[in-house]
Amino acid sequence: MERRSLTLEDVAREAGVSRATVSRVINGVRNVDPAIRDVVRAAIERTGYAPNRAARSLVTRRTETIALVISGAGEESESRTSGDGTNGGGPDGANDGAPGGADGADDGAPGGADEAPDGGDDDTPQNAFAARVFADPFFGRVVSGVVGFLRPRSMHPVLMVAETEAARRQVTAFLRQGSADGALVVSTHAADPLPAMLVAEGLPAVCFARPAQPTPISYVDLAHREGGRLAAEHLLARGRRGLASVTGPLDLPAGRERLAGFRAALERAGTAHVPIAEGGFTRESGADAMARLLAGHPDLDGVFVANDLMAQGVCELLRERGRSVPQDVAVVGFDDSSVALTCRPPLTTVRQPVERMTAAMAGLLLEHVQGTRTEPTSLLFEPELVVRDSA
């Protein structure tokens, strides 16, 4: 509607006051005569004024936006779906149908011309990484927590993907330009160099999960060990004694700790040895690992699987082998991702409060940005057992 955008000046004229006064009203600064305040408010209303963000940002040095970075590790996207073990890995989502399929064409819109715009550069490895990450149910929970926290504070997240060195530089550049006030980093690999880069640049950031190398940076994390313990105790309480575990990648802290917690609880209960098979957080790797376990221990009656995706694979394999879940073998997953519900039977699983964790990340970040908090801080969240049908 409006052509040249309105400025403070316009509103000031309309209200018969100075720019400064209008600015004060808008920013809720005290020391404004209530009468004048109302006049100004009316003028703003009438004109439909919206303050220019860039101009404001230029002086306040705040953008009211933060970067939400999904970060990989190396130059290449890797084959392992899930990273630091804190998330559930992802279904491959988009299975590509035959390429060269359908294309854009006009359908007689309200006045549409129909030349197709360039359709985006698909198929780059970068996009493959992005596609994989975004297809992961874990991602939705991350976003949900962040948005839930930010929105009431009228801040908004900018989504960034950073799995190459170049992309990481793009992220730091973005922040140094003052395009965002800080970064929330969700790494998909233990060796992600981004947290250290951010720290080195002195940029406010908070990580999901403790960085592999000790880094003076704030983070939230899950008490993974505790999760393993929960699983062990539940299985034990169900009367299972032939226990085993399909673990996550053991080079990941989360993979190791989930197992450690499981083992420790069993040891306490008198079970010294626990057969394990390592998986890669994907459904297939879960099935494979289960097959190996079964080969060596045909008598087992309970399995702790380090994430839900693998647990799904485990359930499928067990069914194939003619073992019913939970009657013959009880299965406990980890994450409580959406597959926990779609899985047959629905999974008993160790829930990670992802939304609460990412909301907390945003909270921490804001404190760092505002200067309310200066020391790197870590918040540890407790997992929770969700009992469904698989154990």
* Structure-derived torsion over alpha carbons of residues 357, 308, 271, 266, reported in degrees to the nearest 10: 20
Give the residue, chosen from 1, 28, 31, 327, that forms a contact with DNA under the rule CB under 7 A.
Answer: 31
Applying CB under 7 A, which part among 51-59, 186-194, 320-328, 336-344 lies near DNA? 51-59
Q: Is 190 in contact with 87 (CB distance < 8 Å)?
A: no
Applying CB under 7 A, which part among 3-11, 77-85, 286-294, 353-361 lies near DNA? 3-11
Using CB under 8 A as the binding rule, the residues of this chain from 29 to 58 that contact its own copies are 50-55, 57-58
Closest CA to 71 of 178, 7, 140, 162: 162
DSSP assigned state of 4: S
Question: To the nearest whole angstrom, how small is the minimum distance from the Cβ of residue 269 to its own copies?
Answer: 23
- Asked whether position 26 contacts its own copies by CB under 8 A, the answer is no
- Asked whether position 8 contacts DNA by CB under 7 A, the answer is yes
The greatest distance separating any two alpha carbons of the chain, rounded to the nearest whole angstrom, comes to: 86
- Asked whether position 113 contacts its own copies by CB under 8 A, the answer is yes
Question: To the nearest whole angstrom, how small is the minimum distance from the Cβ of residue 183 to DNA?
Answer: 20
Closest CA to 306 of 271, 262, 341, 355: 262
Closest CA to 72 of 141, 120, 126, 151: 126
Binding mask 305-344 for its own copies (x = CB under 8 A): -------x---x-------------------x-xx-xx-x
- Asked whether position 166 contacts DNA by CB under 7 A, the answer is no
Q: Which is nearer to its own copies, 276 or 337 (by Cβ)?
A: 337
d(CA 160, CA 180) in angstroms, rounded, equals 11
Q: Is the bond leading into 346 cis (omega within 30 degrees of zero)?
A: no
Using CB under 7 A as the binding rule, the residues of this chain from 53 to 112 that contact DNA are 55-56, 58-60
Q: Taking CB within 5 to 8 Å according to partner kind, which of DNA, its own copies, none is near residue 373?
A: its own copies
- Asked whether position 188 contacts its own copies by CB under 8 A, the answer is no
Q: Taking CB within 5 to 8 Å according to partner kind, which of its own copies, DNA, none is near residue 199?
A: none
Q: Which is nearer to its own copies, 73 or 243 (by Cβ)?
A: 73
* Integer CA distances (angstroms), 327 to 74, 145, 346, 349, in order: 43, 36, 14, 17
The residues with which 162 forms a beta bridge, in sequence order, are 71
Amino acid at 31: N
Using CB under 8 A as the binding rule, the residues of this chain from 59 to 78 that contact its own copies are 63, 65, 68
d(CA 163, CA 120) in angstroms, rounded, equals 19
- Asked whether position 380 contacts its own copies by CB under 8 A, the answer is yes
Give the residue, chosen from 353, 369, 390, 391, that forms a contact with its own copies under the rule CB under 8 A.
Answer: 353
- Asked whether position 202 contacts its own copies by CB under 8 A, the answer is yes
b/e burial code for range 321-350 (CB count within 10 A of at least 16 → b): eebebbeebbbbbbbbbbbbeebeebbbbb
Q: Is 168 in contact with 349 (CB distance < 8 Å)?
A: no
Q: Taking CB within 5 to 8 Å according to partner kind, which of its own copies, DNA, none is near residue 383?
A: its own copies
DSSP assigned state of 378: E
Residues contacting its own copies: total by CB under 8 A: 122
- Asked whether position 20 contacts DNA by CB under 7 A, the answer is yes
Question: To the nearest whole angstrom, how small is the minimum distance from the Cβ of residue 303 to its own copies?
Answer: 20
Q: Which residues bind DNA (CB under 7 A)?
A: 4-5, 7-9, 16-21, 23-24, 26-27, 30-33, 35-37, 49, 51-52, 55-56, 58-60
